[in-house]
Every structure is written in C-alpha cells, then in structure tokens.
Structure 1
C-alpha cells in the first residue's frame, strides 16, 4: 500500500538558527514505514521566497514562498536570533496572516526554541501553555503576558506545539512522530539520528547547573540498572544502595541530573514501557501492568491516564500496529 507523505513546511525568518532549521528535515526524513516508504516530506519557505540570513554564516535560499504554508499539514517555525519578534514582540503581518490561516484550517503549528516568539506575536499562543529557550523566558513573559510560559520542560503539546532551546527541537519532532505513528517508528528515527528516543527530565536540568566531575559521581548507571528492573518493585533505598550513596545524597544528585525525583522518574519509565508493550505486544492490560511494574490494572490505568491522557485500552486501539 502506497503511503501519502505528511507535508511539512519549515518557515525560515531572518537570522534563523542553523541547527533549528535543519532539525525537521533530518528527523522527519528518517521516519519510514517497514517497507521504507517516507512518512513525511519537508520543504523550506520564506516570506516572498526571498533569501534570509542564518546565524551560522550562510544564507538560506528557499524553493518556496509563503504559498507552501497553504498546502502544508504541519508548519514549523525554527528559532531566530534578533529581529522584531525578540525586540518588540511583533512579526511581519504577512507571516502572521499565513500562520493564522494555517492554524484556522487545522494545520499543526510548531516552533523550535525562540520560534515561539513568532507564534506568540501571531496570536497563536494566547491562553495556551508554551515553552521556549530558558535564557529568553523573562523576555518572553514581558512581551507576551497572555501566554502561560513553562521554561522547565523540553516541549509542550497544547494544541500548538512549542519546544525549548535548540536541541529540544529533536525531542519535539520525535514526539510528533511518536504521536503520528507510534513508539517503534519514533525509536527507529531516533536511532538513525543517533539521539535518545526520550530524554529524562526537562529543560530545568540544563539551567546553569554544575556538571559532575566524573561519571562515577552521577546516577546514570543506577538509572540504567533500574530500567532493566521495571517489572520488579524498586524502592528509593534500592536505588541509593546501588549508587552507593545515602538516600538524601542520591535524591539530590538524581534531581540535579534529571530534573525529576526518583519516584517521578520511575513512573515516567514505567509509563513509557507500558506504551511500548501496548503498541507492540498482544499482552493483556493486566499483563502489561505487571510487566511495567505497576502491579495492578487499576494502578496502570490511573498513572497512564494521568501521564498520557487516555486509558490503556484506548491508547492500544489508536497505536497498536496491525499487520
């Protein structure tokens, strides 16, 4: 069966961040079916189809103008450095009109890093939760007080999708692939891009925190040890004992490195494992609960609904791969 690829338009403005510009094409370009059909096409456009400057010392010469947005299923705005969106909270009216029209007809709208300033200037984030690079959080709040900004997370999907600073665009693009096609396809894309399919914690862990001097001082080995035992009861004392730390010291190191408490992290890992089992196995929901370490179906339902937003059975109906 031939797949009709999902069409993505990347809107580049002047002073576009080079990494942000290339991220969508790289990540979505690796998303394929089992028989290697492309699931997405990615093209770049600018206002009037004119060249724009990047922050990396080169010009972007696009193949399309804003008319590309009119036919796109998803529109992505990469980050920018400078210009009116960051200076005074405004954006070119033709760009704002194109973005609003795409949103009104149901296209998915996304931003990477400071691209959130463009979406906010177009009025697409008012009343919504959003994020951007942590270093620009105070400026964003001053310019756009109607937006509920959360600078501690890697990305937010609240109708309009926004990601945190720079490399968090990778996390957001993988989230979209996971939402569209399930964890298995997203995991394959992550492997092709040589990045983790899911990063623990949020942007908070990158905000001016000290870096451990040696890997031995961290909790990475203990986190991997716990991942191999999600089906077993794992207590905070077990984790601290494996890391050869006191509970208090371990908890401090763990939160510093992941942005989460050990209990929150374990629930996140168990939920992600349950998602994968629901998508790729024929295990019953009761068996999934046991394999993922929730113990009971009721506990799985409670935590799964809280973190994913739907019941396990509803999730399986949506994402279970069929032959």
Structure 2
C-alpha cells in the first residue's frame, strides 16, 4: 500500500476530525455548562451551510458569504436559546431530548420551505481550487489544508478564551457551580446565551467550510450530530481538550478506515465484499473505541473539572 495514500487519508481524517471538533466544542460546552442535551445542534450546522450558500450567491464571494453566515447563524442560535431552550434547563433529559428532536423536524421543514429539497452547492474559491505540493511526489488539495489550518486556529482560540479570559472564568464557574457563580455576580442567563451563540457560530463555520466538499441538503445535520456526541463522550463532557482529541480520533479512524480497510480486505476477499464490508467495519470501530474508553475511563479521556 503506497505511503502517500496512507498519508493522504490520515490528513483527510484530521481535516474531518477538526470539523467535527467545531461541532463538538459547542455541543460539549452546552452539555457541560447547561446540563442540556441539544439534538438541534446539528440543525444549526445545516442552517449555517444554507446561509453560507445563500450569501455566497448574493455577494459572489465565498469568504464574504461565510463571514455573513457565521454571525447570522449565531443570532439564530441565541434567539432560539432565549425563546425556547432556556425553558428546558431545569427539565429532565427526556424532556430535553423530545423537545429538541421536535426542533430538528421543525428546522428541516422550515429549510425545505425556504430553500426547497434540491441540494445546493458552494463553489470553491478560485485561489484554493487546486493541489499544493507538500513534498516531492505528494500533492494535497489546498482547500483541505485551509480547513485543517482553520480548525487548529479555532482550537487555539477556544483554549485561550476558556482558560485565559474573564468570560472563560465565568464559563468554568458556571459549569462547576452555577448557583454560587450567580451569587458572586455572574449573569448566568447572559452567559448561557453567549455560550449558545458561540456554539452556533462554530456550527456555521463547520457547515460553511464543508459546504464546498459536501452537498448542502435537508437533514445533513443528523448524521454528523451522532458523531459529535460520540466525540464528546470519548473526550469527556464539558472538556474542550477532550473534544479536540476525541474528534481527531473519530475523524482519522472513520475516514482512513473507510478508505484503507477495503484495500486490506481485498487481499482475502473479493472486491465487492471488501467494498461493502470495509466501510461498515470502519464505522463499527468508532463505537468499539468509545466502549473501550468508557470501560477504562467512564467519564471520558479528559473530563472537565468540577
């Protein structure tokens, strides 16, 4: 098996993992701080992708469309938190699951009415529509390298935000003991809205960046939401570091496994069997990894303190 093929698939896995991190980071903050299971988080990813496609068409610029879609999606997320989700914080998890699942269905229907059922596409920027030679004999798409760079930059910014800023201190205090934080003067309601807005903005960034690689279509948030939940369970609920490590593990295992396992299985089975069984085994490996980690560390690899 060529080493360049393995390296390309690992980079694809890193790129996909970093996009998963953008979703999982917001999801783990909402889950860890608000103790809320939000199944509608994937719908914000879908809405962000649709807004990006629309604004790219209006402005004629990919970067202009993405820059507009991020704050608009953040505003939608904050409005959703204020109007509806805030009422669910003190409800049990079953009520949260049922209510946010209803939001998923509602979001799909609203998107269908506004944009239709036909998938949309987002054109790659001309400057990034080609490969980059990383070293002699190995080229890799420039746009995927940009996604990797954007994911790393967001991870660094989130770390600085959570660990080295006053807002981050309030977030950590609200996660550890919201009642005590409220007594000490932290405006918990405003804090929760801000955290939800940050999570929605990260969803829009992920949806916009993946839009040129995937079809922008109704229901695109459901499948990736499942992987995002796997990520935060592996990494530890409420942990940004855990979300990053878990996302990279899931991204590399899923992407590289789907591409490389069929090639390995062809050594012992027919091409048809290898092509169908390989991706299925790769998908199973993610959940096997999650189960193994939970047996050893029930709270995940890097559980949040508090």
Band of TM-score, shorter chain: under 0.3
Q: Which has the higher strand share?
A: 1
Which of the pair has the greater relative contact order for Cα pairs under 8 Å at 6+ separation?
2
Q: TM-score, normalised by structure 2?
A: 0.23
Q: TM-score, normalised by structure 1?
A: 0.22
- Rg larger in structure: 1
Q: Which has the higher helix share?
A: 2
